[in-house]
């Protein structure tokens, strides 16, 4: 009997749903399909994989973040051992938007996978995999940290599209068909820089916007379920560190809807991001004083100073949140009344 191993990363359940539907199609033709959730121990999971002896197919699934692969799943792919000749499929889930205007006309904005499928397939081929499928599934766009989740009926409509696409991908893979999703490599000129900037700065900045409001009971669920081990309880307050993947799992699974996007942190990060601009202008123009020479050391000096200030700013806001009377200011937010989103079939404790 052939066997299929599906490895997926999922924050709110869309990718988990696609994995389950693909697995169902494979089981229908007699393949023993097993699902593996990639999370806290992604690198160890990769190292423990066998070399793929026998008739084995591996399916790798992930959501699209800023036109790229989530940083955690990238580490997983890069840690895979050699698997010469093993067949593989790569599937991503991307956020679609459906809306209706006042006249009832339907508007559908499809998601965009960026260069993610190309990059994942390239990583697998470097490790000897025979990539037979690259596909994408549309599911509801959910960025609860900044915008409200779609209305239930809209989310259901988009999920129906994604379920159909996942089922079709499963059928093709089960039949052994080869199908590589077309993608204009010209798009890599902007999607790669966009993705790299998000990996280095964006996901960290987003994670630092989180705050627990007064409804938090310090139950620890966010700590236990964070796939990146990015949350710790300090006293009775959860705190997000620099490993946040921006997967939205915590804000959408909190039983009290107590995790919010802090206005104070948003304002602080905007001001913080503008600090380098006058320094760059000053450096390019005439100036009487440069703290260090040569230019390379000067750049390193300012980078170190900026990193130190970033750390200090985060510490100050965190400490302010512990001071009675100022906690309300730190917890001031715009997400308390937002709908939360989880794919209905998603089991959080996996």
What does the domain layout of the chain look like in residue ranges?
3-188, 201-330
Closest CA to 228 of 215, 211, 214, 244: 244
Query: For a pLDDT cut of 90, what percent of the chain falls above it?
Result: 72
pLDDT confidence of residue 45: 82
Closest CA to 201 of 306, 112, 335, 76: 306
Q: pLDDT per residue over 183-196, tens digit each?
A: 988 899 999 999 99
Closest CA to 89 of 24, 136, 126, 31: 136
Contact 161, 96 (CB under 8 A): yes
β-pair type (106-109, 87-100)? antiparallel
pLDDT confidence of residue 39: 87
Contact 21, 73 (CB under 8 A): no
Most confident of 80-84, 278-282, 300-304: 80-84
pLDDT confidence of residue 288: 56
Q: pLDDT per residue over 105-157, tens digit each?
A: 999 999 999 999 999 999 999 999 999 999 999 999 989 999 999 999 999 99
pLDDT confidence of residue 274: 87
Q: pLDDT per residue over 296-311, tens digit each?
A: 777 788 888 888 999 9
Kindly give, in sequence order, each residue whose CB lies less than 8 Å from that of residue 229, ignoring residues fewer than 6 positions away. 40, 243
Kindly give, in sequence order, each residue whose CB lies less than 8 Å from that of residue 323, ignoring residues fewer than 6 positions away. none
Say if residue 313's pLDDT is above 60: yes
Q: How confident is the model at residue 47 (pLDDT cuts 50, 70, 90)?
A: confident
Query: For a pLDDT cut of 70, what percent of the chain falls above it?
Result: 94
Averaged confidence pLDDT in the chain: 90
User: 220: phi > 0 → left, psi -120 to 50 → alpha, else beta; which?
Assistant: left
Contact 208, 194 (CB under 8 A): no
Assessment of whether the complete model's pTM goes beyond 0.85: yes
Closest CA to 203 of 257, 244, 143: 244
Return the bridge partners of 135, or none.
91
Q: How confident is the model at residue 49 (pLDDT cuts 50, 70, 90)?
A: confident
pLDDT confidence of residue 52: 57
Q: Do 3-188 and 201-330 come out as alike in CATH topology? A: no
Contact 41, 24 (CB under 8 A): no
pLDDT confidence of residue 348: 59
Closest CA to 291 of 279, 281, 301, 280: 301
pLDDT confidence of residue 275: 83
CATH architecture of the domain covering 3-188: 3-Layer(aba) Sandwich (3.40)
Q: How confident is the model at residue 293 (pLDDT cuts 50, 70, 90)?
A: low
Q: How confident is the model at residue 97 (pLDDT cuts 50, 70, 90)?
A: very high
pLDDT confidence of residue 44: 83
pLDDT confidence of residue 148: 92
Q: How confident is the model at residue 221 (pLDDT cuts 50, 70, 90)?
A: very high
Structure tokens at 301: 């000096």
Q: How confident is the model at residue 41 (pLDDT cuts 50, 70, 90)?
A: confident
What topology does CATH give the domain 201-330? Alpha-Beta Plaits (3.30.70)
Please report, for the chain, how many H helices and E strands are present, in that order.
13, 11
Neighbours of 275 (CB within 10 A): 13
Say if residue 292's pLDDT is above 70: no
């Amino acid at each position: 009997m052939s066997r299929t191993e599906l490895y997926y990363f999922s924050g709110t359940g869309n990718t988990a749903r696609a994995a389950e539907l693909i697995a169902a199609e494979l089981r229908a033709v007699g393949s023993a399909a097993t699902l593996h959730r990639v999370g806290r121990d992604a690198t160890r999971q990769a190292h423990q994989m066998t070399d793929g002896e026998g008739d084995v197919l591996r399916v790798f699934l992930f959501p699209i973040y800023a036109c790229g692969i989530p940083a955690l799943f990238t580490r997983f792919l890069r840690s895979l051992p050699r698997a010469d000749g093993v067949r593989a499929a790569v599937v991503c889930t991307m956020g679609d938007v459906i809306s209706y205007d006042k006249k009832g006309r339907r508007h559908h904005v499809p998601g965009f996978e960026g260069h993610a499928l190309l990059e994942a397939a390239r990583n697998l081929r470097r490790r000897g995999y025979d990539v037979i499928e690259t596909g994408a599934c549309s599911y509801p766009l959910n960025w609860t940290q900044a915008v409200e989740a779609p209305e239930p009926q809209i989310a259901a409509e988009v999920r129906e599209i994604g379920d159909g696409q996942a089922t079709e991908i499963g059928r093709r893979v089960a039949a052994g068909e080869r199908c590589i999703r077309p993608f204009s490599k010209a798009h890599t000129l902007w999607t790669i820089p966009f993705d790299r900037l998000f990996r280095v700065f964006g996901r960290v900045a987003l994670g630092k916007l989180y705050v627990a409001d007064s409804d938090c009971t310090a139950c620890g669920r966010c700590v236990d379920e964070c796939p990146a081990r990015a949350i710790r309880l300090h006293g009775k307050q959860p705190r997000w560190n620099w490993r946040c993947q921006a997967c939205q799992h915590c804000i959408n699974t909190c039983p009290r809807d107590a995790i919010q996007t802090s206005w104070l942190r948003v304002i602080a990060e905007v001001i913080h991001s503008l600090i380098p601009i006058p320094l760059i202008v000053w450096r390019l123009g005439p100036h009487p004083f440069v703290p260090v020479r040569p230019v390379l050391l000067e750049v390193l000096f300012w980078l170190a100073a900026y990193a130190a200030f970033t750390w200090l700013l985060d510490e100050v806001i965190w400490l302010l949140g512990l001071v009675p009377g100022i906690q309300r200011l730190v917890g001031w937010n715009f997400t308390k009344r937002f709908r939360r989103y989880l794919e209905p079939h998603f089991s959080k404790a996996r």
